[in-house]
Amino acid sequence: MALHTEHRAPIESGCPDGLQYMHPLMRKHYGNWAYHEDPRPGVLVHVAKNGEKIWTVRAGTQRILDLFTLRKLCEIGDEYGDGYVRFTLRSNIEYMVADEAKVEPLIKALEDAGFVVGGTKNSVTMISHTQGWLHCDIPGTDASGVVKAMMDELYEEFKSWNMPNRVHITTSCCQINCGGQGDIAINVQHTKPPKINHDLVANVCERPSVVARCPVAAIRPALVNGKPSLEVDEKKCICCGACYPPCPPMQINDAEHTKLAIWVGGNHSNARGRPTFHKLVAAGIPNNPPRWPEATAIVKRILEVYREDAKDWERINDWIERIGWPRFFEKTGLPFTKYHINNWLGARRSLNASTHIRF
Amino acid sequence: MANKHYETPMLDELEKGPWPSFISGIKRLRDQHPDERIKGMANSLLGQLEHSYETRKGYWKGGTVSVFGYGSGIIPRFSEVGHAFPESKEFHTLRVQPPAGNYYTTDMLRQLAESWEKWGSGLITFHGQTGNIMFIGTDTDNTQHFFDEINEYGWDLGGAGPCVRTGMSCVGAARCEQSCLDEMRVHRTLLNNFTDDVHRPALPYKFKFKVSGCPNDCMNSIERSDFAIIGTWRDDMKVDQEAVKEYVAKKGRDYILDNVVNRCPTNALALREDDTLEVNNRDCVRCMHCLNVMPKALSPGDDKGATILIGGKRTLKIGDLMGTVIVPFMKLDTDEDYERLVELAEEVIDFWAENGLEHERCGEMIERIGLANFLEGIGVDVDPNMVVEPRNISYVRMDGWDEEAEKWFRRKAEEKAAAAAG
């Protein structure tokens, strides 16, 4: 009972009701919207079945918000908006206003404060990303830094509608890939097996769980220098890093051998085809802080070819399905290697068992 | 220490360029914030981050930190180089569940900012990849203080570790014409039914719910959640032929043929000579493409409900998996409908909790035991909508065929009788 006087018991309220924070027009027309239009990049207008309209202004931010930035966003919302905001899946902020006259001043206020209005429709929207060196316990690279450096280069694409369809880019700092599937994904790819600190394994790691964690059964218990530890069959090891989170003495990150790989054609939507996973197109890219220019250059090259070659409404996966992978590699100038050929479970489904060849 | 700024030549490079800089933001906390504690934390964090940039390594380690009564919701971070950067040596994140749909008033954001200013580093992200508000950076004591404060005005922690995780839902019915669901109700009904499983990790691994109001699946639920609820409809889509004609007049027949008719994956559309659109609703797979191109002319039908897919996940351990259709369609109108949804989720989680291996996601368990066994385990009948195509290999023992075929005919007869009665 003593505990109860010392500690406050939590109120297990769970997920809060969004209605209390929702713009009154959105509450009023909940489930009763007729259609929307896109008056300009970064702005949506939704029309309710009774004809009433609500305007949304979307802006990109640095995602890791400091108090000054968050308060600035609130200030803009109070002065130029209606005091109601939401955040998209890709961490863009959206301001909803009931009066069209507020739209232009709101855009100006956001841009004057350094935020970037855009990210709607067939733009390159904000890169969805993970924590990286700022906070994660297993990262091979930084996330916010990669994204900042890349969005500097894609700034105009965020603000405009130059692309055949929307482009969702993601980044991940390890091969668990928390950033998720993307039209283009820039992900860490380790190239060497973990370096094991055998003095620490027995004390830090629950060895059977670590053995079980390996996707290719390359880890086994071993006595090293008389101490219980783990050893890795380096011929089997796929350098995925799955053993590192449950066993930090199995260091997978390496200043030189942790690289970046680029994947394309991931698409979550059911529009046209079924959802797709992204596929490997480039690897061996240096993990080169603070601005990762090599990775950005490849992303920009892929985007340029896509913009020129794809037809309206084709996402990157739709476009490559039409032109074929050989032409993708030809047009982007990226090398096709033995590493592009899948050898994981179900790999045969990805091989060409036909005479369908483009000449 | 707080007066001495760590040199950050590499991070300084990230202050250049037009996109807003998180480094400039952290520096503002270091240089302009009145509270010495926040200044010191920001300085120390920048020092450690610069060190990571120089050495290309991370220096955070996990540990065990939680608030009283919970076993989840905090991501503990202890610095391995805390001796060099002492003011951020403990830098835990609190995962807080956002409102379904991520709506905020500026007043509420300010209130959260004030609480975080009192107890934390001053860094916040809306939202992490699971969907939580991430309050990044505080020490063990202040974790409790901050939680106690915001918990009093309506905020609760999300999941971390092997538990039900914070859910996500799209803007949906609040502002989207394509919405076929009451996303907020689905989200809150499910998540708040499993509050205990959010706060006290006792499952094989993580379990995520995500809700998308239509098959555009803006929440990425098929690929990123164990239990995806996606709005759809089963009657005819609505066609406003006058609006179709307006699109044709504005964009031209070729544009509509190339971008609407010919992009239909099941050839279910035809543009007639009088510029009206003919839809074969029996062939339509509700992919959303034509509705996306012509939102003013085409809309979902009235008989709305949800498709449920189970088993999506990211790479570890066996590779990426998409969810599989388990319920092709269910109505979500009445309280009873919602009870059925919760019962299904409970069945799935219970079966997986009993049969999943440690660190095995629900989809990986299904891969291991086979979909048919999973369906039997959760008491759901087989349905051809669950497969892209039937099996193509004869290596299977089928001496129960007659019985299984009989089940199918009996079920079809019952469905027919129910339809006739209803």
Does residue A298 share a domain with residue A244? no
Residues 6 or more apart whose CB falls under 8 angstroms from that of B152 comprise: A11
pLDDT digits (tens, 9 = 90+) for B339-348: 999 999 999 9
Q: Provide, as residue numbers in chain A, all residues whose Cβ is less than 8 Å from the Cβ of B104.
A: 21, 84-87
Does residue A101 share a domain with residue A220? no
Does residue A261 share a domain with residue A206? no
Tell me whether residues A255 and B123 touch, CB distance under 8 A. no
pLDDT digits (tens, 9 = 90+) for A219-274: 999 999 999 999 999 999 999 999 999 999 999 999 999 999 999 999 999 999 99
Does residue B410 share a domain with residue B311? yes
Does residue A289 share a domain with residue A168? yes
Residue of A nearest to B212 (CA): A269
Residue of A nearest to B92 (CA): A135
CA distance B92 to B113: 17
Residue-level pLDDT at A14: 98
| Statement: the pTM of the whole predicted model exceeds 0.95 | yes
Tell me whether residues A19 and B184 touch, CB distance under 8 A. yes
Distance from CA of B315 to the nearest CA of A (A): 5
Residues 6 or more apart whose CB falls under 8 angstroms from that of B379 comprise: B347
- Residue B1 belongs to a domain: no
pLDDT digits (tens, 9 = 90+) for B7-60: 999 999 999 999 999 999 999 999 999 999 999 999 999 999 999 999 999 999
Does residue B348 share a domain with residue B215? yes
Tell me whether residues A15 and B99 touch, CB distance under 8 A. yes
pLDDT greater than 50 at residue B294: yes
Tell me whether residues A11 and B116 touch, CB distance under 8 A. no
Residue-level pLDDT at A2: 45
Residue of A nearest to B172 (CA): A31
Does residue A67 share a domain with residue A179? no
pLDDT digits (tens, 9 = 90+) for B316-371: 899 999 999 999 999 999 999 999 999 999 999 999 999 999 999 999 999 999 99
pLDDT < 70 regions, chain A: 1-5
Helix (H) or strand (E) holding B255: helix B253-256
In CATH, what number is assigned to the domain containing residue A295?
3.30.413.10
- Residue B188 belongs to a domain: yes
Tell me whether residues A115 and B147 touch, CB distance under 8 A. no
CA angle (A151 as vertex; A38, A113 as ends), nearest 5: 70
Residue-level pLDDT at B310: 98
- Residue B19 belongs to a domain: yes
For A21-51, b/e burial (b = at least 16 CB within 10 A) is: bbbebbeebbbebbbbeeebbbbbebbbeee
Confidence of residue B3 (pLDDT cuts 50, 70, 90): low
CA distance B224 to B129: 10
Residues 6 or more apart whose CB falls under 8 angstroms from that of A321 comprise: A273
Nearest to B367 by CA among B410, B295, B301, B313: B313
Tell me whether residues B69 and A9 touch, CB distance under 8 A. yes
Does residue A259 share a domain with residue A241? no
Number of CB pairs, chain A paired with chain B, less than 8 A apart = 361
Domain that holds residue B270: 238-299
Domain that holds residue A209: 195-251
Domain count, chain B: 4
Does residue B325 share a domain with residue B205? yes
| Single residue among B121, B152, B183 that ends a domain in this structure | B152
Q: Is any Cβ of chain B less than 8 angstroms from the Cβ of A270?
A: yes
Edge to edge, the sheet with strand A258-264 lists A169-172, A184-190, A258-264, A279-286
Contact A228, B302 (CB under 8 A): no
Residue of A nearest to B284 (CA): A272
Q: Provide, as residue numbers in chain B, all residues whose Cβ is less than 8 Å from the Cβ of A96.
A: 175
Q: Provide, as residue numbers in chain A, all residues whose Cβ is less than 8 Å from the Cβ of B106.
A: 73-75, 77-78, 81, 83-85
List, as ranges, residues 207-246 from B with C-beta within 8 Å of A: 215-220, 222-224
ipTM of the complex: 0.96
Q: Is any Cβ of chain B less than 8 angstroms from the Cβ of A121?
A: no
Q: Give the one of B77, B174, B188 whose C-beta lies nearest to A135's C-beta.
A: B77
Handedness of CA B215, B216, B221, B224 (dihedral sign): positive
Does residue A30 share a domain with residue A78? yes
Mutate to test the interface with B, among A88, A89, A239 (most CBs of B within 10 A): A89
With pLDDT > 70 as the criterion, what percentage of chain B qualifies? 99
The 3-state DSSP class for residue B139 equals coil
Q: Is any Cβ of chain B less than 8 angstroms from the Cβ of A320?
A: no
Q: Please, what is the end-to-end C-alpha distance for chain B in angstroms? A: 76
Q: Is any Cβ of chain B less than 8 angstroms from the Cβ of A220?
A: no
What does the H/E/C string look like for A47-102?
A: EECCCCEEEEEEEECCCEEEHHHHHHHHHHHHHCCCCEEEECCCCCEEEEECCHHH
Distance from CA of A153 to the nearest CA of B (A): 8
**B421/B233: higher pLDDT:** B233
CA distance B150 to B138: 15
Does residue A290 share a domain with residue A146? yes
Query: Could you please report the per-residue DSSP string of A165-209?
Result: S-B-EEEESSTT-TT---SEEEEEEE-SPPEE-HHHHHHH--HHH
- Residue A345: CB atoms within 10 Å: 11
Q: Give the one of A7, A26, A54 whose C-beta lies nearest to B68's C-beta.
A: A7
Residue-level pLDDT at B262: 98
In CATH, what number is assigned to the domain containing residue A235?
3.30.70.20
pLDDT digits (tens, 9 = 90+) for A4-53: 557 899 999 999 999 999 999 999 999 999 999 999 999 999 999 999 99
Q: Please, what is the end-to-end C-alpha distance for chain A in angstroms? A: 79
In CATH, what number is assigned to the domain containing residue B132?
3.30.70.2500
Nearest to B206 by CA among B302, B295, B283, B314: B314
What does the H/E/C string look like for A254-281?
A: CCCCEEEEEEECCECCCCCCCCECCEEE
Q: Provide, as residue numbers in chain A, all residues whose Cβ is less than 8 Å from the Cβ of B217.
A: 268-270, 275
Question: Please, what is the average pLDDT of chain B?
Answer: 97
Distance from CA of B344 to the nearest CA of A (A): 20
Residue-level pLDDT at A7: 86
Summarize the confidence of residues B399-417 as an average pLDDT: 97
Domain count, chain A: 3
Report chain B's C-alpha Rg in angstroms.
Answer: 26
Q: Between the CA atoms of A126, A129, A131 and A133, what dihedral angle is there, to the nearest 10 degrees?
A: -90
